[in-house]
């Protein structure tokens, strides 16, 4: 059956975003990309493949099931598990060759008792107060790992608490200082720690010259800036614009077009009443799909290249939008909920503003049941790329030969 709600995923854009970061941090730094949360809503397996095609060295996931899904799909790259694992799943994760973050003695003891080989990364506390160990406990756990045959302490990690929320990076620099102290103390105790990593997207964009041994990219690999503050701070620091390309377009189709009179109420709670004869398009998407209920009477969608405001509340699986001002859409016309259509764009940032959240949550919450379709690059982008590469006029061969492969099974 043909999906009525889907996301076109521009996998060429995902690969290109990785290349942007490769140029930024240089050839010697490991580039890992976080594909947790269904690859920030972009579809785990197709996004992972696109990143690896673009030159990513490692993938990061949050959940053990994501390690299993990537291995089942034939992904052979290193996979780093950012989140916790049930102690009973450690044997399988070791067999799948997941790199594991550790911050509990119980995890290390279970792995040691199993007698498996595993490469571990110690999470040190630098001020986020999420996962991680203060230095004395980190030193003790590192010694425990060293004492277990089969276990290798491959790396040390930490995570920033206040880097994308502000243009004032004093706290992030304080965390950097604590990270460097922890690394120095662990190395003084004889732990080699070949892979030190703390940089997320914002740190990679702000401090590309200080990536340590690996960066852990997330949001920016998907073509989105971590925040407006990060963008402003990067510009103030004199960094050139990096040209990230958003890769996701969330679409649905018009299910009904209807004309209603002036003074008619729309949807649950009668929260919108028309002030003129109004033409509505009914779209089969709602909060159960990740279209936030906060968007009622606030968001726009794109139909026929024009903005159509959402009228009334968002239902579980339906929204109503106002198409009075444009030509009447036809049944099954495409509507864009997020992304571009014609000259208009609904950005993840605009939607985040309407919904009172951040672009991360907007894309990550698009339901896993929504199909992800690997879409060809827009013709203009292909032409741009060819023009830049050859200096000559573009051929459209790539665009016309690109196929549309449904990948909903990966969702
Ligand atoms: C998700 C995540 C990242 C990526 O963060 P972005 O801000 O999306 O770049 C990096 N490190 C850890 C530990 C994460 O959980």
Average pLDDT over residues 306-321: 98
Mark whether 259 and 331 lie in a shared domain: yes
Residues 144 and 163 in one domain: yes
Is 380 within a domain? no
Burial of 284 (0-12, 13-18, 19+ CB in 10 A): middle
My answer on whether 234 and 282 are in the same domain is no
Pocket test for ligand 1, best of 37, 44, 66, 82 (most atoms within 8 A of CB): 82
Q: 6 in a domain, yes or no? A: no
Percent of the chain with pLDDT over 70: 91
State if residue 34 touches ligand 1 by the CB under 6 angstroms criterion: yes
CATH code for the domain in which residue 389 is found: 3.20.20.10
- What is the rounded average pLDDT of the residues 361-368? 98
- 168-178: per-residue pLDDT in tens? 999 999 999 99
In DSSP terms, 257 is beta-bridged to: 281
Per-residue model confidence (pLDDT) at position 42: 98
pTM for this predicted structure: 0.91
Looking at the domain assignment, is residue 5 inside a domain? no
Whether residue 259 sits in one domain with residue 209: no
Distance between Cα 57 and ligand 1 center (Å)? 16
Residue 389 clears pLDDT 70, i.e. is over it: no
Looking at the structure, tell me whether residues 275 and 182 fall in a common domain: no
- Does residue 132 have its Cβ closer than 6 Å to ligand 1? no
Between 142-151, 195-204, 344-353, 381-390, the lowest mean confidence (pLDDT) is in 381-390
Confirm whether 97 is domain-assigned: yes
Neighbours of 93 (CB within 10 A): 21
Q: Whose CA is nearest to atom 15 of ligand 1?
A: 82
Ligand 1 centre to CA of 2 (Å) is: 34
**pLDDT at residue 376 in the model:** 72
Q: Active-site residue numbers?
A: 36, 268
Q: Does the CB atom of residue 64 touch ligand 1 within 6 A?
A: no
Q: So what's the pLDDT on residue 400?
A: 36
Does 138 share its domain with 215? Answer: yes
Residue 344: pLDDT above 60? yes
Number of domains in the chain: 2
Check which CATH number belongs to the domain holding 303 and give it: 2.40.37.10
Assigned domain for 3 exists: no
191 and 218 in one domain?
yes
Report the SS3 class of residue 122: strand
Whether 2 is in a domain gets the answer no
Whether 130 is covered by a domain: the verdict is: yes
Distances 304 to 53, 103, 278, 330, 340 between C-alpha atoms, Å = 34, 52, 17, 10, 11
191/227 same-domain check: yes
Domain that holds residue 145: 11-245+385-409
Both 90 and 189 in one domain: the answer is yes
Does the CB atom of residue 126 touch ligand 1 within 6 A?
no
Q: Can you give the pLDDT at residue 79? A: 98
SS3 230: helix
Domain match, 235 and 282 both: no
By the 10 Å C-beta count (0-12 exposed, 13-18 middle, 19+ buried), 202 is classed as: buried
Pocket of ligand 1 contains residue 175 by CB under 6 Å: no
Q: 185 pLDDT exceeds 90?
A: yes
CA of 335 to the centre of ligand 1 (A): 31
């Amino acid at each position: 059956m043909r999906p009525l709600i889907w996301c076109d995923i521009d996998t060429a854009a995902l690969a290109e975003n990785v290349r942007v970061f490769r140029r930024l941090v240089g050839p010697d730094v490991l580039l890992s990309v976080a594909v947790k949360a269904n690859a920030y809503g972009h579809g785990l397996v197709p996004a992972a493949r696109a990143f690896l095609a673009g030159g990513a060295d490692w993938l990061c996931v949050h959940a053990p099931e994501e390690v299993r899904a990537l291995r089942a799909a034939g992904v052979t790259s290193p996979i780093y598990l950012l989140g916790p694992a049930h102690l009973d799943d450690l044997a399988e994760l070791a067999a799948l060759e997941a790199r594991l973050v550790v911050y509990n003695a119980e995890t290390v003891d279970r792995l040691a008792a199993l007698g498996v080989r595993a490469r571990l990364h110690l999470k040190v506390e630098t001020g986020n107060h999420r996962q991680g160990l203060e230095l004395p406990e980190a030193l003790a756990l590192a010694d425990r790992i060293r004492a277990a045959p089969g276990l290798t302490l491959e790396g040390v990690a930490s995570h920033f608490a206040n880097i994308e929320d502000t243009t004032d990076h004093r706290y992030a620099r304080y965390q950097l200082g604590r990270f460097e102290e922890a690394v120095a103390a662990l190395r003084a105790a004889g732990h080699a720690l070949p892979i030190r990593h703390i940089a997320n997207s914002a740190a990679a964009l702000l401090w590309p010259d200080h990536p340590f041994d690996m960066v852990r990219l997330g949001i920016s690999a998907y073509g989105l800036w971590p925040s407006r503050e990060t963008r402003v701070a990067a510009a103030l620091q004199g960094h050139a614009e990096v040209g990230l390309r958003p890769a996701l377009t969330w679409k649905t189709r018009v299910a009904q077009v209807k004309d209603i009179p002036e003074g008619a109420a729309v949807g649950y709670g009668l929260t919108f009443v028309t002030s003129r004869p109004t033409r509505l398009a009914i779209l089969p998407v709602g909060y159960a799909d990740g279209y936030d209920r906060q968007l009622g009477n606030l968001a726009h969608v794109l139909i026929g290249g024009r903005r159509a405001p959402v009228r009334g509340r968002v239902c579980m699986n339906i929204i109503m939008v106002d198409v009075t001002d444009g030509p009447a859409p036809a049944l099954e016309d495409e509507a864009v909920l997020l992304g571009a259509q014609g000259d208009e764009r609904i950005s993840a940032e605009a939607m985040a503003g309407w919904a009172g959240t951040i672009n991360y949550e907007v894309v990550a919450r698009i339901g896993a049941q929504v199909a992800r379709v690997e879409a060809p690059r827009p013709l203009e982008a292909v032409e741009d790329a060819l023009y830049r590469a050859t200096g000559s006029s573009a051929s459209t061969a790539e665009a016309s030969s690109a196929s549309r492969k449904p990948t909903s099974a990966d969702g």
